[in-house]
Structure 1
């Protein structure tokens, strides 16, 4: 008996040492990954700036391959994450708490982003462009999009068959279908067929996370190609002209939101912003280059669970939702651009008008899909619906690529912050659920 009592502390000590060694190895691996990503970013930037045509063609090919791979895993990641989480939590009070936290912080950060954009717009006060310049830009507006209404945007979310959202990559429609399936499984009778179906779905999710881990392993190659592609575009020159102040307002608002507002929310809720950013850096980097929150979701989920240590029930529920409704950068762009277009159209911008459009921008951003140029098309539709001249949108189009990159990185950083805050505040109350798939 005495020998057994003496053996227990020794066993505990061995387990603690093994756990410490495992944590140290994991930390070292993460550091190596960060070094690789930074190195790939620097080398890619240098090679892109040299602007060798053969290399540019190669980097464009590699960047396209990675973009397609992210798109390939994005839609099933969203669908499976929502289905498994709602199926496991649909009848439990945890669902309501997680959803309430996600929506609350989404709205708070989005309103702040729009407010920062409005404050900069009033402070810097971009001047109007010459009428002939605005008129000339009408030819660059994407065809037929100027005739879309905001009702058409929401109508496109409602699918008329099960496969269409997945084939077209309509993120909001996929979310709608997945939520319906997940809630159906949550409230369905707990029969043997239901359990078999859930096991199959969890198995698909484990397979998907295995593919994502493989994609993260070769991610430095993608970062190198993306960085080279961006450097080549900048070296070629982006003509901003008289849009410089407008561009400064949009990008400046995004940077303030990124480096000040979001870290402030994290710090107020008792989290270290630097640590959270370091753990979620892979997702932010991928978002910067892919310009798609939805396409980045696989990396965001993997970073949240494996690096940040977020509970699967939080990460797999909050992040897919935030991908579609938490659009900080989009809200600021919609507001500033709408005010700029209306100002150039000669419309009176009273304080009441600007505040009203602040909330319109927030609601529009919540309904926007996390896809490349989603904010641009949505703003174009809004301006067309109120009869504003859309020629200015054609002038903005050439510089929107850079704006879109910064916006998407900001959106994913905000998604990460909302997930981290929700996980932190509910850590003591979340119950382990056997129906949840194991952490990838």
Structure 2
């Protein structure tokens, strides 16, 4: 008996070592694609840049194509399996606690950096000039409109428009409905069909991951070409510094400390989740990155699917560390330029507003920008400044999204670690 166990343990050890080496090679390949793509894009070869734009667009569409059904099916199948059990509450509680903690830390760091760097006011004529760049329609959208957009009046429209929060609401309703409906033959047939569809999607995701280095090469080339051509320019120096520094501290210090506090190796978790973080950096959509995040969590991190397929879709919509920092810093900057007195009470109030707004934001490109624009419009602040921020938001959005997905990965890893061996899969 012991001999058989020894053979089994040896086989598992060899398999684990092989998987570790494979993940290492994959990581190196991704970095290589990133560097080569950036170098080629910087050369400014027009036909090559056009090819990069085409490939990047193809990959972006593929991510969008597979993301929304992946979110819906992950939530439906997980809630259908766990909806009637106490495990659901435990997983959800861990995910929400870690999400709120990391988001509050992110906003708090943003406030501390703002007070330390203290960006000055912009010239009045410069702030007024930026008004022409603000999307006029979105300047009149209120926060109530964002909430109403989450409540669907059509089962297909949220899927067609990519409304992630509305899709989550529909999926949660269906999942809980399946969990509590009578255990009839029709229910089993329906559930098997949904699970089969989910397996098909994960097969497609694996195929997409296999060719992803080509996509990273194109994304890196596209971004490098834009920077070289001066499309993305740095303005509002101190404001930009506060945003970047806050995101950097959260990414490289705070989140790793959270992992260390739970007994996890941050470098190991980062390496295993690096495919998702890299895709988030270039797609600027945590929702669009979800298929890669799920695959990385289950294939590389070896997270329990019951945890990953429940935690990650939820985190994609509520765990917005980068967004919380952006909303707070940008709101303070705009209000300061409007002549509004920024007392400590006001700043702490807006810290809470930023956290709540970030939790309610959808993981789509420029979601934080439009949400901040709506908040500032709602209080009558000079939203022309948002027009000045718009040209540099491309870079900010990339870094924020990568941070959001890294935070999602950390929450998933910590929840999986806390509940290891405690979930009933019967």
Give per-residue Cα distances to partners, 1:124-147, cap 9 Å, x unaligned. 000111111111110000131101
Matched, 1:239 2:233: yes
Q: Tell me which residue corresponds to 2:112.
A: 119
Equivalent in 169, 179, 188 of residue 195 of structure 1: 188
Greater shift, 17-26 or 393-402, is seen at 17-26
> Paired residue for 1:291, among 284, 290, 296?
284
Q: Tell me the residue number matched to 1:4.
A: none
Q: What is the Cα deviation at residue 9 of structure 1? A: 4.5
Q: TM-score, normalised by structure 1?
A: 0.95
Query: Alignment partner of 2:150: what SS?
Result: coil
Match of 2:169 in 1: 176
- 2:377 maps to 384
Measure how far apart 1:235 and its partner are: 1.6
CA distance in 2 between counterparts of 1:12 and 1:410 reads 42
Partner Cα separation in structure 1 for residue 2 and residue 416 of structure 2: 32
CA distance in 2, matches of 1:404, 1:54: 27
Paired with 1:204 and 1:28, the residues of 2 have a C-alpha distance of 31
Of 317, 325, 344 in structure 2, the residue corresponding to residue 332 of structure 1 is 325
For 1:35 and 1:284, the matched residues in 2 are separated by: 14
Residue 236 of structure 1: CA displacement? 2.2
CA-to-aligned-CA distance 1:26-82 (integer Å, 9 cap, x gap): 222212211211110110010011111111111011001000101111001100000
Question: 1:47 and 2:43 equivalent?
Answer: no
Superposed CA deviations along residues 198-235 of structure 1, whole A, max 9, x for unmatched, are: 11111011110000000000000000001111111222
The separation in 2 between residues aligned to 1:9 and 1:361, in whole angstroms, is: 57
- Distance in 2, matches of 1:23 and 1:401, equals 39
Moved over 4 A (4+): none
1:423 aligns with 2:416: yes
SS at match of 1:156: helix
* In 2: Cα distance, 1:166 partner to 1:62 partner: 24
TM-score using structure 2 length: 0.98
The runs of 5 or more residues in structure 2 that have no matched partner are none
The answer as to 2:200 corresponding to 1:204 is: no
How far off is 1:107 after superposition?
0.4
Residue in structure 2 matched with residue 91 of structure 1 by the alignment: 84
Of 270, 279, 298, 1:277 maps to 270
2:102 touches 2:255 (CA, 8 Å); kept in 1? Answer: yes
Q: Does 1:251 align with 2:244?
A: yes
For residues 126 and 246 of structure 1, the distance between their equivalents in structure 2, rounded to whole angstroms, comes to 6
Alpha carbons 2:227, 2:233 under 8 Å: kept = no
For the residues of structure 1 that align with 2:346 and 2:261, how far apart are their CA atoms?
32
- Corresponding residue for 2:396? 403
Q: Distance in 2 between matches of 1:303 and 1:178?
A: 22
Find the structure with the greater CA-based Rg.
1
Question: Can you list the C-alpha shifts for 1:63-114, whole angstroms capped at 9, x where unaligned?
Answer: 0100010111100110000000000000100000100000001000000000
Query: How well do the aligned residues superpose, as a CA RMSD in angstroms?
Result: 1.0
Query: What do residues 254-302 of structure 1 show as CA deviations (whole Å, max 9, x unaligned)?
Result: 0000001101111111111111111111110100010000000000000
